[in-house]
Amino acid sequence: MKNNYEDGKDLNDKHILIESGGGVGDLIMFTPALRRLKELYPKCILTFLTIDKTVDVINRIPYIDKVICIKRGRFMGRYRVVPELLKQDYFVFTEWQPQLLFCAWILHLPNRFSVPRLGNPLTKTLHKYITDIVSKNVGFAAETNARLISKALDIHLDGDMTHCDVSIPNKVEQKEVDFLLQNIGIHENDDFIALSPFTSAEGRDWPLSEAQKLVQMIQEKYHLPVVLIGNKDKDVSKVSEYSLLKKTSIIQLIEVIRRSRCLISPDSGPIHIAGALNVPCVALFSRDLPSRWAPKYNCYPIYLHYECSPCESETFNNCPYQLKCIRNITAGMVMEKLSIIFSNSI
């Protein structure tokens, strides 16, 4: 295997900042590339820049030296990280961040890289091109991220990109989850299934009517409680008596998923947490491809392969087909996947 040092490229002792302001899953999909970068250059100083609502997902991963966050909604939130920019030797913005790129440019900071926003007049001024196919690439997202970072830093991040990582709750947080579960009737060593029917994008939410059917089927066949998790405050009293909706922080959510027998969720942050923890999950895919976003291990995706799938955000948000890609996934389909999971665990 070719070593990066053969090309004279040595990033040891270099300060490298990598940015992603995406959701939970987006951050987790960066961890294989970051881990390999640190393995190749153990003395590099690796900083990850993200937004405040997702920072806890990766801020305890040992190979990331520092995590800093942009506080959205705060006055001049992005510009408050400029002092951190001054410390860096390399800047890799994996999303379009014109304010930070402008700061890096005006300060004459070297080695600025970003995913281009085609057609934007600032593109050629503010950064070099990395790639213009990131959003169109149907390959596994973690592998795409590795290629993106490799091209930016002029190195080759080889090796396994299928195992992701996530922050692990400490003992205090585990005790907090003990209390949360006990409050809804789940006691220590009780088996349960976690169900997250909601996502950050309402169009990807799984219908509660199907969720209700699924809970009944699970209780009849497996006699297990189904704990509802997520960050939306909705009336789910007819779905399950066990609900932690809007009751957990991200780090507590990680612990709940870690303890679950398996997870059922649309394509969103929880399935990536489950993937990083090697917890079995049934992932309900709608607008995106499982080949790009589904965890590579212990994940059982459901994808209906309609002629209009996959689709872009604008199409999905104004779907002419009544979001049939997610609404036509039935409780029976999920039960078929659960039967595989439970048969494998015997």
183 found inside a domain: yes
Q: Is the pTM here over 0.85, yes or no? A: yes
Residues 145, 179: one domain? no
161 found inside a domain: no
pLDDT for residue 98 is more than 80: no
- HSE-CB at 85 with a 13 A cutoff on CA atoms is 25
Residues 76, 202: one domain? no
| Boundary-marking domain end, from 153, 186, 202 | 153
Q: What is the CATH number of the domain that holds 21?
A: 3.40.50.2000
Residues 99, 223: one domain? no
DSSP code, position 231: S
Least confident of 56-60, 133-137, 161-165, 320-324: 133-137
pLDDT for residue 105 is more than 70: yes
Count of structural domains, the chain: 2
- Residues 142-161 have pLDDT tens digits of 998 998 899 888 899 999 99
162 found inside a domain: no
Residue 199 tokens read as 């996502």
Distance CA 134, CA 117 (A): 11
- Check residues 284 and 115 and name the one with the higher pLDDT: 284
- Residues 18-71 have pLDDT tens digits of 988 889 999 999 999 999 999 999 999 999 999 888 899 999 999 999 998 887
Residue carrying the six token digits 């939970």: 24
Host domain of residue 230: 171-344
Distance CA 1, CA 344 (A): 36
